[in-house]
Structure 1
Amino acid sequence: MLRWIIFLIIYAALGFYTLQALKTATKYPWAQYIFILLAVLVAGNFIYQFTIGEEPGRVLSRPKSYAFGFLLAVMAFQLITILFLFSEDIFRLLSGAYHRISGNTKEFSLPQRRRFLSLLGLSIAALPFGALLYGMYKGKYNFKVLRYTMEYEDLPDAFDGYQITQISDVHSGSFDNRKKIEYAIDLINEQQSDVLLFTGDMVNNKTEEMRPWKELFSKLEAKDGKFSVLGNHDYGDYIEWDSPEAKSANLQALKDLQKEMGFDLLLNESRFLQKGNDRIALIGVENWGKGGFKKAGDLQKAKTAVSKEDFKILMSHDPSHWKEEVIPDSYNFHLTLSGHTHGMQFGIEIPGWIKWSPVKWRYEQWAGIYEDMGQFINVNRGFGFLGYPGRFGIWPEITVITLKKKSLT
């Protein structure tokens, strides 16, 4: 109860401050009433969904996600507006104090707020507000195919031109539009890649979340097969279970379901992709994450059947694994494929100009291709969404990587 009281006090204070900008910017009371009504409805729905309306055992239900999304949009609007008001209020306070101390006025008084700054603050605050709403309405299904060509001197000749499709972070428990997912599945198959690699987080928490989508994902095709690894959410660690046995049964059910959908799930093990006398080692580890995330991945066990001379592709859900264990390893892992970060589902990307998201402060490798000591990693931005039920700027990604033999001359 105390946390909700604190939340309401902070939320009301932010709302009251923002209201001052509206009063300065417009003389029409209806604009202020609309803001108050919207703020009250959003806060009320958020509190309801996370208290009375909470579904037992589901920490990330769709109603809760949308309640959080709308609250995030409103608070982003409030905070940016307040940044403008607060900076002006400091100036007003200093100006009032100066005039009183210098004797220009007999009483301390603050200059009026400038309408221009309030309008500017509200206009700028409307941008992330609109972006977050757009991300919930359309952005979360704005699937993009991103293509990369990777050149290697030691790529086996038979694999020159070999094409990989990578998807990651499906989070099927968040889906709410079947037609959009059907479109995405067709888009993946249109790439006609040699192999399909899925790098973890098929569900939010429970295997049952994937069952309504089983038929669709079973339609995914690739000439040399479909391979997968587990992500941190696949273990069911983020909800309360009736018993350890129930949690274990859920994980086993997810493993069985992946097999039924045609995925070869790699659990700290490897496979070989063969073309004539040439081969590529495909290695898959369970989740290994830095900063409190599950460390079930065992790279040493996974590479047991692989030699140093093999060309190696590693599937590891969390990109922090790359710097912590993969790069320092005595083996050279030519290409690591990860996901996990989602690019925080919000940011700005203009190819060749800017790539930014707040998640960069948490993960050094958070989206796209990175290189270190001759080894490469691709961090997929994710297929689905989690928490905030949308995406803006960091769109859902289908990665297509073409391997090429690099000329020695």
Structure 2
Amino acid sequence: MRLPKFRFLLAQAIKIVLVGCALVFLLSVYVHKIEPNWLEVTHTDIAIPKLDRAFDGYRIVQITDLHAGDGVSRAHLERVVELVNAQQPDLVVITGDHVSRKPRQHIDLLDTLAKLTPRDLTVSVLGNHDVFNDAEPIRTAIKQAGIVLLENTVYTIHRDLATLHIAGVGDVFAQQDRLDRVMAQLPATGAAIMLAHEPDFADETAATGRFGLQLSGHSHGGQIRIPLYDSYLPELARNYPLGRYQVKDMVQYTSRGIGTIKLYVRFNCRPEISVFKLVSSS
């Protein structure tokens, strides 16, 4: 009588092992192949102090942390560009980490960004991976794609007599940020938006009292988000790691980004294209 029972238990154990292996395989496929390519377009309305009515309804689309070549192919970037253009943006902003490793091998992928078609222009700032690798070919590729690179500078968009100022700081992690230079260039009137790769810079931006919005990346939203487990968050992305925050009188928004770092996996943290509609608070 013991042998049949043993065979039954052995069969059950084999079934459990097979089911477990199947689940592990499916999970592996999902986190490696499905979710990293499952782009989500999010929509957020932002009331901006000092925003002239001429910019009411102005549409900004943010992409960040492309990490081109590090698992992100040309086809994937082309799909990102297609989705961005479908949002009919007035302005496209790219908040850093265009590539992550071996930039000279992957730099050619950035020519895809020349296909972006905002009404006004595309602007960009550098991220820590851009700077810590080799920033010069990245700067060149960005400019060749027709993108305005903001490094401690301000670009002003005009609607007749109304103005909207887009500022960008150098990478904070690399200590290349010069907020003092930005403030020296920033006109006293007109709404202002800050682009900073690292979101925790929001504390310094908000302290000026001059900006209504900061857009950032860097965190990847944690990339792997498991309930009851703190996601891995890099330095300078721990105070404002994901989504929308109110920092004094300024809104901070941290996008989950497009690419990944270290491992080309995502779980419970889909790649994000962020769409913002500016609303006049007057």
TM-score by length of 2: 0.86
Aligned-partner Cα distance in 2 for 1:208–1:197: 23
Counterpart residue identity of residue 174, structure 2: K
Counterpart residue identity of residue 165, structure 1: V
Aligned-partner Cα distance in 1 for 2:76–2:232: 26
Counterpart residue identity of residue 347, structure 1: R
Contact 1:317 1:338 in 2 (8 A): yes
* Structure 1: unaligned runs, 5 residues or longer: 1-24, 36-121, 238-249, 349-353
After superposition, the C-alpha distances for 1:243-277 in whole angstroms (9 at most, x for unaligned) are xxxxxxx3212111110011110111111011100
Matched, 1:312 2:192: yes
Aligned-partner Cα distance in 1 for 2:136–2:249: 37
After superposition, the C-alpha distances for 1:152-195 in whole angstroms (9 at most, x for unaligned) are 35211110010000000000021354433322221111111000
User: In structure 2, what is the equivalent of residue 366 of structure 1?
Assistant: 241
Counterpart residue identity of residue 176, structure 2: A
Change (3 A) 1:176 1:336: closer
Change (3 A) 1:128 1:294: farther
Q: Residue 215 of structure 2 aligns to a residue in which SS?
A: strand
Aligned-partner Cα distance in 1 for 2:157–2:148: 13
Matched, 1:186 2:61: no
Identity %: 28
State which structure, 1 or 2, has the greater radius of gyration over its C-alpha atoms.
1
- Residue 326 (structure 1) aligned to one of 198, 205, 215: 205
After superposition, the C-alpha distances for 1:199-242 in whole angstroms (9 at most, x for unaligned) are 000011333243341332211121110100000000135xxxxx
Q: Residue 244 of structure 2 aligns to a residue in which SS?
A: strand
Deviation, 1:30, is 9.2
Contact 1:206 1:234 in 2 (8 A): no
* Structure 2: unaligned runs, 5 residues or longer: 1-7
- Residue 268 (structure 1) aligned to one of 149, 152, 156: 152
User: In structure 2, what is the equivalent of residue 76 of structure 1?
Assistant: none
Aligned-partner Cα distance in 2 for 1:403–1:26: 63
Aligned-partner Cα distance in 1 for 2:228–2:162: 37
Q: Residue 161 of structure 1 aligns to a residue in which SS?
A: coil
Provide the aligned C-alpha RMSD in A: 2.9
Q: Residue 303 of structure 1 aligns to a residue in which SS?
A: helix
1:75-90 to structure 2, matched below 5 A, reads none
Change (3 A) 1:213 1:156: same
Aligned-partner Cα distance in 2 for 1:128–1:347: 17
User: In structure 2, what is the equivalent of residue 119 of structure 1?
Assistant: none
1:357-396 to structure 2, matched below 5 A, reads 358-359=231-232, 363-396=238-271
Counterpart residue identity of residue 232, structure 1: N
Counterpart residue identity of residue 223, structure 2: Q
Contact 1:149 1:403 in 2 (8 A): yes
Deviation, 1:127, is 7.0
Contact 1:381 1:395 in 2 (8 A): yes
- Residue 199 (structure 1) aligned to one of 78, 90, 95: 95
Deviation, 1:317, is 0.2
Aligned-partner Cα distance in 2 for 1:314–1:400: 16
Counterpart residue identity of residue 248, structure 2: M
Deviation, 1:367, is 1.1
User: In structure 2, what is the equivalent of residue 9 of structure 1?
Assistant: none
Aligned-partner Cα distance in 1 for 2:228–2:81: 27
User: In structure 1, what is the equivalent of residue 181 of structure 2?
Assistant: 301
Counterpart residue identity of residue 358, structure 1: S
More helix by share: 1
Aligned-partner Cα distance in 2 for 1:134–1:174: 18
Contact 1:193 1:222 in 2 (8 A): yes
